Amino acid sequence: MQGRASPDVPGIAAATVFAIASQIIGAAFLYLILKVDGGWQVVGLLALLGLGFYLLERLPWIADYALASFARVPLVAMITAAVIVLAFPFFVGSNTYILHLLIVAELYA
């Protein structure tokens, strides 16, 4: 009988979907934080970010699943990250402020 090695290890299809979707969602969230102008919108997005960190602390299996997914398909994860990093400035468009923030963030990284 062949199956997965452990119930905690995601299958290749599930790991691929998770790796791609989580990076796209993260890039979209970063884009929203950089793009919004209203104070309440920023507060709402930061509250959503705080909720995400709270859930990661209270439900550690989410982080374990993420780590297992990225470890299962590292090439897919790296290619997706490279495509997002290269495409992100084009999605920003002509907003020079966001481009400046991206350059400064790259310098400090």
- Location of structure tokens 């209203």: 38
User: Residue 43: its pLDDT value, please?
Assistant: 92
Q: What is the pLDDT of residue 108?
A: 86
Helix or strand run (H / E) with residue 97 = helix 96-108
Would residue 61 count as lying in a domain?
A: yes
Reduced to 3 states, what is the DSSP secondary structure of residue 68?
helix
Q: Does residue 4 form part of some domain? A: no
| Residue 103 within a domain | yes
Q: Is residue 84 part of a domain?
A: yes
Q: Is residue 28 one of the residues assigned to a domain?
A: yes
Contact 33/42 with Cβ under 8 angstroms? yes
Which residues constitute the domain of residue 96?
12-108
42 within domain boundaries: yes
pTM: 0.78
- Number of CB atoms found within 10 A of residue 88's CB: 16
User: What is the reported pLDDT for 34?
Assistant: 83
3 is a domain residue: no
Identify whether 7 is part of a domain.
no
Per-residue pLDDT tens listing for the chain (109 residues): 455 555 578 889 999 999 999 999 999 998 888 888 888 998 999 999 999 999 999 999 999 999 999 999 999 999 999 999 888 888 887 778 888 888 888 888 7
The total number of structural domains in the chain stands at: 1
